[in-house]
Chain A
Amino acid sequence: MAKDVIYEIGLEELPARFIDDAEKQLAEKTEVWLKELRISYDSIISFSTPRRLAVLIKEVSEEQTTIEEEAKGPAEKIAKDADGNWTKAAIGFTKGQGKTVDDIFTKEIKGTTYIFVKKRIEGKSSIDLLPDFKVIIESIQFGKNMRWATQTLRYARPIRWLTALYGEEVIPFEVAGVKTGNVTYGHRFLGKKIILKNPGEYQSSLFENYVVADSKEREGLILEGIKQLEEKEGYQIPIDQELLNEVRNLVEFPTVFAGSFEERFLQLPSEVLITSMKEHQRYFPVRAIDGELLPYFVGVRNGNSYALDTVIKGNEKVLHARLSDAQFFYEEDQKQPINHYIKKLERVVFQEKLGTISEKVKRVVNITEQLTKELNMDTEDAAHAVRSAEVCKFDLMTNMVNEFTELQGIIGEKYALRYGEDQTVAKAIREHYLPKQANGNLPQSVAGSIVSIADKLDTIVGCISVGLTPTGSQDPYGLRRQATGILRILKDRQWNISIEKLLDITESLYVTLDIEQGNREQVTKELQEFFKLRAAYLLKEMTIEQDVIQAVLSKEIGLIGYSQAKAGCLSEKRNDDKFKFVQEALVRILNLANKTNQTKIDPSYFETASEKALYEKFQTVSMKYKEAVQSKDAPQALAILSELAESIHEFFEKNMVMAENEELRNNRLSLVNNIAQLIMDYADLTDIEWKQTF
């Protein structure tokens, strides 16, 4: 008769962030394991709390499923002698399978006949196999493992008990010195030791002992508690799912409560209040219906509502101390002018070899100034950008950012407004840290975008100049993310400045710096390669094929937006039958180019009409092509180049490029080289694996 099985791993409090994944692993691994063991069951239900991971397996069969297998023996010609009698080989095989020669049948596999016997694998008793669950327990992966006492097992936290029942019977095994039994434990303070009579009682016995074993059920209870508070008090409590997931995994029996803090703290920047509540204390901030923060917070207790007032009072006291500290910092910070903090940056090292943050800021200002000129920005915008660069790092020296490091930039914006800085400047201080992740939000303001680019450029050029190029998974300064950020901003803004120009501007600053740097030429090359890889990554994200990416970036990155548009065109033409005629012509030119470095064309050497025609076509196409590039019209530029195709085909058909006469030959090669140069400006089409049907 089928019986239920429960396995529970009792642990010291697991880190909340590991729990959901561990529960999922446990359920999945159990399923695979039972399948491999050929043990049938009705369903698997998993549970988790900070102190336990468990699976309840319903209706586990008493035995493994019995199966019939065909066991393959030797080939028939070996199994039978010339007289048609079974050989020793055949007899040996059947014996080995516990059968006799009477059981033999034959089957043909790939032209050869083999002998077989049918074999029945009897299912073993489940109870004998269930102790193997030890392996499943030991195989769960956590983000970080530890050792304890004298045990060698590495696990997220120490294992304190193991519950393993098959029906009423204990499944005997041992992990890290802990033996299985029929005992589990309720809530640390409210619950008792529980003797589990059978697996089916698992969830209800725990509930009686103040443990809600199903994490989704705990989440539901928390949401319900929050909703009641909202209705009763007229609050609005926005649910941050990440916080909710963490909170439900910090408790076994949730009780939602609301506390308050002094109204005067509301004058603190809301980010400070929210960080204190959410990040430090795991509270939900409370808002009025109109969205304004209210001087309340919502927490979740691990327990029931007994003496809840004491718990609320304690939590209020902690938040009060934190906010008092913040208030103190806020007031202290305001006592000094912005220049006080800017001056302080002179004492803080940005990077050992790259000097102080103050020196970095000076470079960022310089780059910003040059960018505003390159981009022909109007005087006011330019002035705002430069001012933003000057003050972009001041908040790092405030008490508030020292205490709440995650608020860098945000505090800068708030304080800058109080110091009477222009709104644009204040916003740029916050935005120059954007994007924070590869796909994060971009700065919205022009000043924020420019300073963001300047700051990141300086970090990248600086680090690579002193040999801190990222390798493999090592990128401690986040240079890759920053380079991607620069490219994304440029693309988004459609600014008419190439990566090469930006690098040039920044590197020219470094040339005059009194710091130990690598060979300049080498560094320049490394920087270009570094950015090319980032540009390639960005294009790849847009599902552009690798060969097209390489073709477009072969000369330079140029204007990232334009390069992307070119890549888009080529990606399309790559599979377009109609483009075959053009592509063959242009590629043929590229293949022949660079045989010599001849570039001088003398029309007087032209002999045939077809080469004259190509030359003339080339001249008109050149002009039109330049216009298309000027207006960053990638499809148009390609269309113009395509106009050459017919003349090129004609040219190759009717002329021997490698003519005997040297002057004639060189002139033709020069024509080819000139056209090739024009094509290469668009992309190196020889890199592309053309997919048109031939």
Chain B
Amino acid sequence: MNIQEMILALQKHWSEQNCIIMQAYDVEKGAGTMSPMTLLRSLGPEPWNVAYVEPSRRPDDGRYGENPNRLYQHHQFQVIMKPSPDNIQELYLESLKKLGIDPLKHDIRFVEDNWENPTLGAAGLGWEVWLDGMEITQFTYFQQIGGLEASPVAVELTYGIERLASYIQDKDNVFDLEWTDEVTVHDIFFQPELEHSTYTFEESNTDMLFQLFTMYEQEAKSAMEKGLVFPAYDYVLKCSHTFNLLDAKGVISVTERTGYISRMRNLARSIAKAYVDGREKLGFPMLKEEK
């Protein structure tokens, strides 16, 4: 099964479970969780079921396309269901079958793993799902987001697409993976990997990035002052990516690091709160539709 077929199979499966099939969010981010489709929509009482592929950029993991396992940009298949269904584990295991993974032929386990993202003031409990000893999915019941208690609780499934594909296609090197039968990951992503790594570690304009961080932060604050939650959140994402670029280049000391993270966390918190308040003012419209 090539990656494209995997994605289509997952989309079909989760679409059948009444998930909205969303497209990737177009601001750089380190994880699918950071998409507003997850982070903001998981808050508040309104039901929300969604699935999407998210390209995740982690500048620090860039390896000039030389490492068989690490990438500047990898892909996650993200599922959010709120409230968490009682049969969510079964639904998830069904999805593995759709990817051709016969559980009787493998060893599938749920191994405790508690997740935390300090930048977003988010935390959850759950597992990493092991397939014959390999972590293929992060399975999390959100407990807190943006510093707010998650209630009802949303469940998040994050499949590591390249990881899963390397197993399904039995390839040792991520660049050998087939995206389609004719096109490999190498064909599509090798050049960007190399160039992004070069840019991140050698060529990026540090002064400009520091300035951008401050400007994005300022813009997020201004947008918030005008009650514009979604634009403010976009600027927090931009802050986060800019910070990741600076951090990967090693120009942020450990001391400063804590400072930057708490600046972003404070913004995320105020945005989360404003989002829920705003939805409440609207009378939680999606809750009404449900009834």
**A147 at the B interface (CB under 8 A):** yes
> Which of chain B's residues 73-99 have a Cβ closer than 8 Å to chain A?
83-86, 89, 93
- Pick from A13, A315, A349: contact of B110, CB under 8 Å: A13
Complex: A650 Cα to B189 Cα, angstroms: 98
> Which of chain B's residues 109-161 have a Cβ closer than 8 Å to chain A?
109-112, 114, 125, 127, 131-134, 141, 143, 150-153, 155
Report chain B residues within 8 Å CB of A302.
107-109
**A694 at the B interface (CB under 8 A):** no
Chain B proximity of A15: nearest CB distance (Å): 4
Report chain A residues within 8 Å CB of B103.
188-189
- Do A13 and B255 form a contact, CB below 8 Å, given A147-B141, A190-B104? no
Report chain A residues within 8 Å CB of B68.
321, 324
A319 — nearest CB in chain B belongs to which residue?
B133
- Pick from B104, B105, B110, B132: contact of A12, CB under 8 Å: B110
- Do A318 and B132 form a contact, CB below 8 Å, given A15-B112, A250-B111? yes
Complex: A306 Cα to B103 Cα, angstroms: 11
Complex: A318 Cα to B132 Cα, angstroms: 8
Report chain B residues within 8 Å CB of A150.
83, 151-153
Complex: A315 Cα to B133 Cα, angstroms: 5
**A264 at the B interface (CB under 8 A):** no
Report chain A residues within 8 Å CB of B172.
317, 320-321
- Pick from A306, A320, A352: contact of B258, CB under 8 Å: A352
**A602 at the B interface (CB under 8 A):** no
- Pick from B106, B143, B255: contact of A314, CB under 8 Å: B106
**A side interface size, CB within 8 A:** 44
Complex: A133 Cα to B206 Cα, angstroms: 63
- Do A149 and B84 form a contact, CB below 8 Å, given A307-B104, A349-B255? yes
Complex: A148 Cα to B85 Cα, angstroms: 9
B127 A318 Cβ-Cβ under 8 A: no
A322 — nearest CB in chain B belongs to which residue?
B69
B108 A352 Cβ-Cβ under 8 A: no
A146 B69 Cβ-Cβ under 8 A: no
Report chain B residues within 8 Å CB of A186.
none
> Which of chain A's residues 560-575 have a Cβ closer than 8 Å to chain B?
none
Chain B proximity of A688: nearest CB distance (Å): 49
Report chain B residues within 8 Å CB of A13.
109-112, 127
Complex: A274 Cα to B177 Cα, angstroms: 30
B67 A148 Cβ-Cβ under 8 A: no
B254 A306 Cβ-Cβ under 8 A: no
**A170 at the B interface (CB under 8 A):** no
Report chain B residues within 8 Å CB of A232.
none
B109 A310 Cβ-Cβ under 8 A: no
**B230 at the A interface (CB under 8 A):** no
A315 B112 Cβ-Cβ under 8 A: no
**B253 at the A interface (CB under 8 A):** yes
**B278 at the A interface (CB under 8 A):** no
**B side interface size, CB within 8 A:** 40
Complex: A12 Cα to B87 Cα, angstroms: 10
B143 A189 Cβ-Cβ under 8 A: no
A314 B83 Cβ-Cβ under 8 A: no
Complex: A144 Cα to B109 Cα, angstroms: 20
**A475 at the B interface (CB under 8 A):** no
Can you list, as one digit per residue, whether each of B225-251 has a CB less than 8 Å from chain A (1) or not (0)? 000000000000000000000000010
- Do A347 and B89 form a contact, CB below 8 Å, given A12-B110, A147-B153, A250-B111? no
Report chain B residues within 8 Å CB of A321.
68-69, 172
**B167 at the A interface (CB under 8 A):** yes
Chain A proximity of B42: nearest CB distance (Å): 13
B133 A348 Cβ-Cβ under 8 A: no
Report chain A residues within 8 Å CB of B107.
301-303, 311, 314-315
A156 — nearest CB in chain B belongs to which residue?
B125
Chain A proximity of B203: nearest CB distance (Å): 20
Can you list, as one digit per residue, whether each of B178-217 has a CB less than 8 Å from chain A (1) or not (0)? 0000000000000000000000000000000000000000
- Pick from A148, A190, A307, A319: contact of B106, CB under 8 Å: A307
A146 B132 Cβ-Cβ under 8 A: no
Complex: A274 Cα to B103 Cα, angstroms: 29
Report chain A residues within 8 Å CB of B132.
310-311, 313-315, 317-318
Chain B proximity of A280: nearest CB distance (Å): 9
B112 A16 Cβ-Cβ under 8 A: yes
- Do A148 and B153 form a contact, CB below 8 Å, given A317-B172, A324-B68, A328-B67? yes
A146 B125 Cβ-Cβ under 8 A: yes
For the complex of A and B, 4 pairs with smallest distance between CB atoms: A314-B132, A349-B254, A15-B112, A13-B110
Question: CB within 8 Å of B: which residues of A?
Answer: 12-13, 15-17, 50, 144, 146-150, 157-158, 160, 188-190, 250-251, 281, 299, 301-303, 306-307, 310-311, 313-315, 317-321, 324-325, 328, 347-349, 352
Question: CB within 8 Å of A: which residues of B?
Answer: 67-69, 83-86, 89, 93, 103-112, 114, 125, 127, 131-134, 141, 143, 150-153, 155, 167, 172, 250, 253-255, 258
11 A–B contacts, CB within 8 A, in A order: A13-B112, A150-B83, A150-B151, A150-B153, A314-B132, A315-B107, A318-B132, A318-B133, A325-B67, A328-B67, A349-B255
9 more CB-based (< 8 A) A-B contacts, given A250-B109, A328-B67, A347-B253:
A13-B111, A13-B112, A146-B141, A147-B151, A302-B109, A307-B105, A314-B132, A317-B132, A318-B132
